[in-house]
Amino acid sequence: MSKEIINTSDGSATISSPYDGESYHSKNGALTESLHIFIENGLNRYIGNIFEEGKHQTNKSITLNILEMGFGTGLNSVATFARSQELENININYHSVEKYPLTKEEHLGLKHSLLFPSIDQSCICKIYESQWNSIIEISNRFKLVKIKGDIEDINSYKPYLFGNNSIDIVFFDAFSPGSQPHLWSSEVFGALYSIMSDHSLLVTYSAKGTVKKALRESGFQVERRAGPPGKRHILAAIKGTGVTF
């Protein structure tokens, strides 16, 4: 099935996938979905927990390691970079895994750079055009490595993790459990659990019962949260006890 660009309800675009015509982002708003799930309920909640709980001195910089499962259109990566430019004393190492990268022409056709007019456009170009399996410095506080590989084969991309550091936040954005159920298994979530730091966070758009079950079997605490337009709920999974995000 050929890919086609789809205009979504909030004015941002997404693209159809080769899997049953499924789109990479919600047709109810690609940007809205990305910001709600991965920025608000992922990055912002994690940072809020660090500072609200007094676990870190605000005058010292910290480094967060984020792992995105499914680079896709790159929208989550760009949204995270845009948010990072608003944060003080926080450095981000961003890892993103993708088995079937979009072409440069497909990325350009989505015009996602126009969604972030206040961000240095050359930095956004770097995110899309950087080589795969190479560490790229997008800014002095944001480093990126796009890993060309299979989400299931987690051991193969461990060498690309910055300094072999544990992952603090996982953005799980694979195609749906209906189209690719093997990616939403307890084996995959268990492998992720093993490379995540204590009190780390995984967020995903799917709230299916089978996904909750697989996450719990892997050791995560799982909670349901309100979803973006068109979706009742999303999931947050926490590694460790006695912590909430």
Domains and CATH numbers, the chain: 30-239 (3.40.50.150)
Q: What is the pLDDT of residue 157?
A: 86
For 16-45, give the DSSP string: B-TTTT-BSS-TT-HHHHHIIIIIIIIIIH
Q: What is the pLDDT of residue 165?
A: 77
Q: What is the pLDDT of residue 118?
A: 93
Average pLDDT, whole number, for the chain?
92
Where residue 199 falls (left for φ over 0; alpha for ψ -120 to 50; beta otherwise) is: left
Q: Over the stretch 171-188, which tens digit does the pLDDT of each residue have?
A: 999 999 998 999 999 999
Within 10 angstroms of residue 226's Cβ, the number of other Cβ atoms is: 10
Q: Span 225-230, mean pLDDT?
A: 97
Q: Which pLDDT band, with edges at 50, 70 and 90, does 156 fall under?
A: confident
232 pLDDT more than 60:
yes
Q: What is the pLDDT of residue 52?
A: 67
Q: Would you give the DSSP letter of residue 2? A: -
- pTM to 2 decimal places: 0.94
Q: Over the stretch 57-93, which tens digit does the pLDDT of each residue have?
A: 556 789 999 999 999 999 999 999 999 999 988 999 9
